[in-house]
Amino acid sequence: MRNAIGLSFDYERKRIFYSDIQRGSINSVYFNGSNHTPIVERQGSVEGLAYEAVNNMLYWTCNNDATISRVNLTNNETKVEQVIRLGPNDKPRGIDVDSCNMHIYWTNWNSHNPAIQRAHFTGYDMESIITTDIRMPNALTLDHKAQKLYWGDARLDKIERTDYDGSNRVILAKVTPQHPFDLAVYGDYIFWTDWVLHAVIRANKYTGEDVVWLRKEVPRPMGIIAVANDTNDCLANKCLIENGGCEDECRLDEAGEVECHCFSGRTLMEDAQRCTSENASCKAEEFHCSAGGCIPYHLTCDTVSTCEDGSDEDPVFCALRTCPPGYFQCRNNRCVSSNQTCNQVNDCGDLSDELSCSCSDDHFLCASGQCIHASLRCDNEPDCTDASDEMHCERSRNCSEVTTSGIPCNYTTSCIHVNWICDGENDCWDNSDEENCDHHATTFAPQQCSPNHFRCANGHCIMKSWQCDKDNDCDDAVGGEPSSDEKNCSYLCRPDLFKCNNSDCIPSTWRCDGIPDCSDGSDETEQCKTRVCPNTDFRCNTTGRCIPLSWTCDGEDDCSDGSDESIEVDCPRGDTTLCPPNQFRCANNQCIDEEYFCDRDDDCGDGSDEPMYCNKKCRSNEMVCNNGKCVLAAWKCNGVDNCGDNSDEEDCQNSGKSSECKSAGTFKCSNKLCINETLLCNGEDDCGDYSDEEHCNINECKDHRPCAHICNDRTVGYECSCHPGYQVHPKDPHLCSDIDECKDRPCSQTCRNVQGSYVCSCVDGYVLRADKRSCKSNSSVDPKLIFTNRYYIRELDLNGHSTLRAHNLTNAVALDYDWAEQCIYWSDVTALGSSIKRLCGSGDASYQVLHSATLQNPDGLAVDWVSRNLYWCDKGLDTIEVSKLDGRYRKVLINAGLQEPRAITLDPRNGYMYWTDWGDRPYIGKAGMDGSGQRILVNDSLGWPNALTISYETNELFWADAREDYIAVSDLEGMNRKIVLSREKDSKVMLHHIFALTVLEDYLYWTDWETKSVERCHKYTGTECSTLTTTVHRPMDIHVYHPLRQVKDTRMEVDMKRESI
């Protein structure tokens, strides 16, 4: 304990809480002095503490950053929640809480505007309750029994008592404090610590008399608390029990005793409990309550007492009355306004106001009896539940413009594809496209599987090649059991893999590396100590791990004990590693791009790329935060603290945003005000227009169909909702319109929207899985990944097992392949010169240098497998170039509008190329594959757009930003964007510094520099994430290695753009 100031306590758990401003911590200790425990640390100057028992919360003020924060003590949580951030001149100090009314109270000795302030526990409705005759409010405490607030002013040397709302202020005249720092109250006394008097003092809380010095000669007394089991018991308020015996309003005096008061227009009677009214003058449309006061006439006899005396619900009056002119008399004797009949709302509560009604002139009567607005008739969308509004329409619709091979339905305005007839979906809205169809075989007979298929336990048929492939293709796994296609399988490992005792396969080089990679630990047994490595490998001293001899003396500690880099194996002293051009060499010998130097991110891992003299300015599309961090300017005032100090959310004007009363538990009044739903039908005019008291105790949904789908009765009125697949109609809240689920990408490949649902299908080469959403390749070739890894090109299966495709490279960066000729293309980027090479056939073949002259930094590479061309972007030359696959006919396609071209991908089917550029104004560009029609697709929310790939099956672009740490998807024009993954939304996602990206089936695969890993997540939902492998060196470019990524269409051969290159 260094400098303890703030104090509070939890009587039930016998704990005292105290703050230590020198350590910046908040701690706890039991009443007996045992178990000193830090709760939170690094909280700054915490001078005021208050424990809230109902929710087990601890609140505190922080003087140096003007905040009020809290922490939930349940389950020993330590997550600090900032409740309120005050202004730069504010100085919050004393604090206390009222659990019953859920309010926080604190002192604020802002030198310009000192105040006593309060707010709800959430920070809502902050207000200053005392702003006059106040200079330096230090101390504050609540008298829960009497509902009073005591506070002390260290400059004016006084202690005051006031009501919770700041009214009825009383100065305790007999008390003469010199510098009160903290206050406590219990029983009939107040207690305070005084800095000038160096004492702890007690006085009578009513008069300030009976001053007693409890402790003298205390150098600087700080916090003080009165520890008792009822100190903080706000339920001791006598007004909470039968309103204290008062007829109208109950208040408490300074002793906590009841004082009865009357509502406006009434006076207190002699018994000091009941009230009498004055005469009131009511309007014609109002009801005069017996005891005085007026209410709207239609609120009488609605089973809710709106009059203070309940006279509006007198049984005799309600049984015998007759409604006045201008009102309709319901069968249950309620009175509703005459203009509220036949409005499709059960205003009476017994539907008598809706009998013998027909649709108005501006509405259409559906065959089902619904009334919809006439403008919805024949608008090509079914609004009636029976689609009768889209039948017998005079307008003809050109269905060929709606969908390819589209034909009109016989009776409705719907257009359908010819293949949709008899597919089991109601595409015509009246089921006419499913009439006279033979569904018997698929509906009743068990499904028969062909010889090349496997029949799942649930009856589904899947490709036989999918059996025992470690995928749940049957989609019938239950509990911890495997799916039926994975039962009784014997999994074998390749020769280059090690088989764990539990049959898992891991790379052989992972064995005896000191890290258990097998879930049963069988790769790290005692045998590692005596293991003998083959002649082609080097044995690590400590673990017994075997690594390739080529890994020794390569500047990387592959053994983790340095034995592969020691002078004992003839490694030269020191490090002679050179970084490629346009790269910075870290103190730990890592190489990073020069753009990462002085970018306020520790890219090296040792901080050497961020020295003290860095003073880099933010880019033109960024803003500088108060803490010096650069964030995108587009993120200003987006409601998210992107800066980390909330400076991007300051000076935001929210006056133009009106509340829509959409939060749970709120009601929107007719005058647009929002109130809590608990105030509805309570007999009080909480809205100010009595709309919170209308339609009380009426179930509009009973014996009535005001909604097309689902009617939900509310305390006041009702609310319509829709079945799954539908949404509330934007023009009529009683109706439902179809949701186009396809906009949210629920399918792996092709999505067709149907009424209330959607249908997924797959393109050629893929088969729909049993889940009816995802697609799997219908190929005998297992999909693999290939990626560059400095000295190597590695091949990785989808279970994370890797092999080498090429080794002894210099610094491999960009990568692509040609499946037809089984060639791999890559760029080697070094300080002495860069080159583009290819390797055809097996890894034993020699590679061929295609380009080396004038190359500087070819970071991106792409193969046109149709016209047999090779494309690359050079970050040093700021060019996009092309040649034939054998290196002939090299040509610069684009040399303007480029600053830092990084990634490039091709769409040979349509003759376009796409690239990323993260110069001063980063963007994603598009052009013809001959370089024509250069344009920008995306230029916002970008920092370092590193990765780019195309999904040919869905015609979508996926890209990733290494600075803003997110992955996004769009169509091929950059529209219909969606953020798939983002570290801003999920800090746990493995997106620290993405370099390259590729896609196959349902998943995205990417390389990450910071984690040195290959990661995988679902391409649309961002779920099902896993790490496939980690590497010693930074993984670079990555591609799915499979023939379906390079499908060749004969129509592509005649693309004149590519032939003209």
In whole angstroms, give the CA distance from residue 68 to residue 94. Answer: 11
pLDDT at position 887: 93
Beta-sheet strands, E only, within 374-528: 406-408, 415-417, 453-455, 461-463, 497-499, 505-507
Least confident of 323-332, 462-471, 854-863: 462-471
DSSP category for residue 1056: H
DSSP tag of 596: G
Domain covering 497-569 in this structure, CATH number? 4.10.400.10
What CATH code is assigned to 237-276? Answer: 2.10.25.10
Which CATH class name applies to 363-435?
few secondary structures
| Cα-Cα end-to-end distance for the chain | 77
- Could you check whether 497-569 and 577-633 share the same CATH topology? yes
* Domain 675-738 part of CATH 2.10.25.10: yes
pLDDT at 138: 94
Pairing of strands 891-894, 726-728: unpaired
- Round to whole Å and give the CA distance between 1024 and 1039: 20
3-state secondary structure of 1048: coil
Residue 975 pLDDT class (50, 70, 90 cuts): very high
- Work out the pLDDT band at 490, boundaries 50, 70, 90: confident
In terms of Cα–Cα distance, which of 45, 131, 24, 122 is closest to 91? Answer: 45
Cα separation of 778 and 767, whole Å?
6
Mean pLDDT of the region 542-562: 77
Please determine, for residue 1053, whether its predicted confidence score (pLDDT) is greater than 60: no
CA distance 998 to 619: 29
pLDDT band at 703 (very low <50, low <70, confident <90, very high): low
What pLDDT is stored for residue 555 in this prediction?
65
Q: What is the pLDDT of residues 82-134, one digit of tens each?
A: 999 999 999 999 999 998 888 999 999 999 999 999 999 988 889 999 999 99
pLDDT given for residue 1060 in this prediction: 47
**Residue 373 contacts residue 363 (beta carbons within 8 Å):** yes
Contact, 583 vs 593, CB < 8 A?
yes
DSSP 975-1043: -S-EEEEETTT-TTSS-SSEEEEEEETTEEEEEETTTTEEEEEETTT--S-EEEEE-SSPP--EEEESG
* Per-residue pLDDT band at 621 (split at 50, 70, 90): low
Token pair 């194996």 in the structure block, residue: 569
pLDDT at 958 over 70: yes
Mean pLDDT of the 135-163 span = 94
Other Cβ atoms less than 10 A from the Cβ of 802: the count is 25
Q: How confident is the model at residue 622 (pLDDT cuts 50, 70, 90)?
A: confident
pLDDT at 276: 60
Number of H helices and number of E strands within the chain?
3, 76
Looking at per-residue confidence, does 232 or 1024 come out higher?
1024
User: What is the domain partition of the chain in residue ranges?
Assistant: 4-236, 237-276, 363-435, 497-569, 577-633, 675-738, 741-768, 785-1051
Tell me the residue type at 822.
Q
Contacts of 28 (CB under 8 A, 6+ apart): 15, 16, 17, 18, 35, 36, 37, 39
Name 211's Cβ contacts closer than 8 Å, sequence gap at least 6.
174, 175, 201, 202, 203
Question: Which residues are within 8 A (CB) of 493 and not within 5 positions of it... i.e. 6 or more apart?
Answer: 499, 505
The CATH number of 785-1051, from 3.40.50.720, 2.120.10.30, 3.90.1150.10, 3.40.50.920, is 2.120.10.30
State the average pLDDT for the chain. Answer: 85
pLDDT over 80 at 242, yes or no: no
The pLDDT > 70 percentage for the chain reads 91
Alpha-carbon span 345 to 705, nearest angstrom: 10
Pick from 434-438, 605-609, 1002-1006 the range whose average pLDDT is largest.
Answer: 1002-1006
* Spatial separation of the C-alpha atoms in residues 817 and 759, rounded to whole Å: 34
**Radius of gyration over alpha carbons of the chain, in Å?**
38
Q: Are the C-beta atoms of residues 730 and 708 closer than 8 Å to each other? A: no
What is the pLDDT confidence band of residue 280, given thresholds at 50, 70 and 90? low
In this predicted structure, the answer to whether residue 397 has a pLDDT above a threshold of 50 is yes
- Which of these ranges, 365-369, 680-684, 1030-1034, has the smallest mean pLDDT? 365-369
User: In this prediction, what percent of the chain has a pLDDT beyond 90?
Assistant: 41
Q: How confident is the model at residue 373 (pLDDT cuts 50, 70, 90)?
A: confident
The string of pLDDT tens digits covering residues 1003-1037 is 999 999 988 999 999 999 999 999 999 988 899 99
- pLDDT > 80? residue 419: no
Does residue 955 carry a pLDDT above 90?
A: yes
Q: Are 915 and 903 in contact (CB under 8 A)?
A: yes
Q: What's at 891, amino acid-wise?
A: K
Contact 153, 140 (CB under 8 A): no
Whether CATH 3.40.350.10 fits 4-236: no
For the domain bounded by 577-633, which CATH number is listed? 4.10.400.10
Q: What is the distance between the alpha carbons of residues 953 and 562, in angstroms, rounded to a whole number?
A: 47
Residue 481 one-letter amino acid: E
Q: Does residue 575 have a pLDDT over 70?
A: no
Residue 565 DSSP class? G
E strands along 877-975, which residues?
A: 879-884, 891-894, 901-907, 912-917, 923-928, 935-938, 945-951, 956-961, 966-971
